[in-house]
A and B are shown apart, each in its own frame.
Chain A
Amino acid sequence: MQNVAKQNTTQKNMAHQNIAQKTQTPLIDYLLRLGDSALVLGQRHAQLCGKAPALEEEMALMNVGLDLFGQARNWLGYAAELMAAELMTGKIDADHLAFRRDAQDFRNLLIVEQPNGDFADIMGRQFLFDAWHVHLLDGLAQSSDPRIAEVAAKSLKEATYHLRRSSEWVIRLGDGTEESHTRMQRALDNLWQFTGELVQFDEIDQAMLEAGIAPAPETLVTRWKATVEEVLEEATLERPSYDAWMYTGGKVGHHTEHLGFLLAEMQYLPRTYPDATVW
């Protein structure tokens, strides 16, 4: 408790303390997983600004980015409130979590931090994530936690549209030209190792399931696989094996090398001007 009292000082001090580790409840951790995945994928969209393959696509990519940052703000805002209650301080908010944590405290999925690459990489990443995200949000919309249910219901509408678009692009590229097919298959093969995490469940997922907060893993896995198989078949793409070796760790803070650079750029201003409290 002494630690807690010490933390209840200024925001500047907070910046240097590892708040995530001091407030580990399964619910907070779960909210960070949701919020960080949305935030990091949103940041990948921010990096795409001005680089879309067509002007029309510029609009679409930024719409997805706006949706994701909005979702991140909702999930992280809730996590911050719970943390502030744990620590008995009012100094934590969504921005604090987004801009003052280091990579090991981020709980996002590895797939969302993968670099943008070409448009096949971008749409492949989006599709594999959306196909999972939609079914997860659909389950979370029935959550016993009313705040989670509310955010999930709103996010579900957005994610459903994201999935429609990313599916269409995977199909177009897969069944388009020889070049686009080759690129799409290569993207899929490269990204596949990060899908194990989507369907892997640990003690935090278990705790959420028992509390009635999150949906049952079996349903989510079955539905994710069904969506992926349907789209890949129409796209004339070969689905890599579910039994392939999988790269995991994002959910517990063990990331790929890419996340550190993404955060360095994203967090540059609050880190460089730690005394600034407003922007």
Chain B
Amino acid sequence: MYAQLVETGTSKLKSLDEMGPEERQFQERINDEIKIEPKNWMPDAYRKTLVRQISQHAHSEIVGMLPEGNWLTRAPTLKRKLQLMAKIQDEAGHGLYLYSAMETLGADRDEEIDKLHDGRAKYSSIFNYPTLNWADMGTIGWLVDGAAIVNQVPLQRTSYGPYARAMIRVCKEESFHQRQGYQILLTMMQEGTDDQKAMVQDSINRFWWPSLMMFGPSDENSPNSAQSMVWKIKRHSNDELRQRFLDQTVPQLELLGCTAPDPDLKYNQETGHYEFGEIDWQEFFDVVKGNGPCNRERIEARRSAIDNGAWVREAAVAYAAKRQRKAA
């Protein structure tokens, strides 16, 4: 999930009867699947939660460029280089669509980005893991984007209009990302050397558990889920989405001829679902709190890009002002 642990600021769900007339009307719209639009009345907590969720989602797209950018200069063929560059560019674009949706709530992009840079805002835990070999470009496309898609498809029906519309665009464009990633892995597993096959398995070993963690903690440990579900800015529980992802992924893993680093992974004939081992939530909370392998590097990379560009942005503003004065 790209937006993990989004704080809603509400401790208890209100029933319709406990709401004032405006809030009641607002909640009834949501219940009727009518979109909330920027100028509609909305509870302050809804607005704040959405700003938090959408900005987190946008930050994830932008930070998510970095682990792949790490291999863009070393992509092994021109075709792979073009594909990867187009994919990273899409991610920048998706970040921008989302910031744009966030700004319709009255939030300021620069302010929200400042929060990312000084550690106040979160982004997806997955991007704090290093990309150590070329197969990671395949695994990110297959597992990480695969998990993101499972999470994002339902968000196309989220209650806030601009967010839902941004997600529709993102989902449409993202369809090639997962296929691109899987194809990288499949090519190496089917036609590659032993070294290349070992690269693929090593990559899956490192990204398997962090991908499952992307959906966030189990339902009983997600205090904000209930409110987010009522507001329909979250449409399925973390565990439900995680299960959906696992069920679609394991057969693809088998087709690759690879294994998961989980001795407890098995198919349950009765339920028709795959069962998996215990997730190390301590690791998840450490990474979310800033103690993952690459947290500091990622934030530093983003901050220095924006800080080093300050004089460029100022120059563009100064020039625009000069030209306007000339025209006047």
Contact = CB atoms under 8 A, between A and B. Distances in A.
Do A and B touch (CB < 8 Å)? Answer: yes
Interface of A: 42-43, 46-47, 49-59, 62-63, 65-66, 69-70, 72-73, 76, 94-95, 98-99, 118-119, 171-173, 175-177, 179-180, 183, 265-266, 268-270, 273, 275-279
B88 A62 contact: yes
A275 B193 contact: yes
Contact of B78 (A98, A175, A180, A183): A98
Task: Determine the main DSSP class of A at the interface with B.
Answer: helix
A273 B195 contact: yes
Nearest to B138: A279
Contact of B312 (A59, A119, A276): A119
27 contacts: A46-B72, A46-B81, A49-B72, A50-B302, A53-B309, A54-B312, A55-B62, A55-B92, A59-B96, A66-B82, A73-B78, A73-B82, A95-B77, A173-B315, A173-B319, A176-B314, A176-B315, A176-B316, A179-B311, A179-B314, A265-B73, A270-B76, A275-B195, A276-B193, A278-B187, A278-B188, A279-B192
Contacts of A76: 78
Task: Determine the main DSSP class of B at the interface with A.
Answer: helix
A49 B99 CA distance: 19
Interface string B72-101: 111111111110011011001101100100
Given A55-B96, A56-B96, A176-B319, A50 B309 contact: no
A272 to B, nearest CB: 9
A51 B134 CA distance: 21
A1 B53 CA distance: 68
B78 A69 contact: yes
B76 A279 contact: yes
Place the interface of chain B in its size category: 35 or more
A58 B315 CA distance: 17
A203 B93 CA distance: 46
A175 B319 contact: yes
B312 A180 contact: yes
A54 B308 CA distance: 10
A50 B134 CA distance: 19
B226 to A, nearest CB: 34
A46 B85 contact: yes
Contacts of A279: 76-77, 80, 134, 184, 187-188, 192, 196
B305 A43 contact: no
A180 B311 contact: yes
B313 interface: yes
Contacts of B319: 171-173, 175-176
Contacts of A180: 311-312, 314-315, 318
A278 B92 CA distance: 29
B73 A43 contact: yes
A52 B306 CA distance: 8
Contacts of B76: 99, 269-270, 276, 279
A58 B188 contact: no
Contacts of A69: 78, 81-82, 85
B54 interface: no
B141 to A, nearest CB: 14
Contact of A54 (B69, B77, B81, B313): B313
Given A66-B89, A69-B81, A279-B134, A53 B192 contact: no
B314 A72 contact: no
A49 B89 CA distance: 9
Contacts of B99: 55
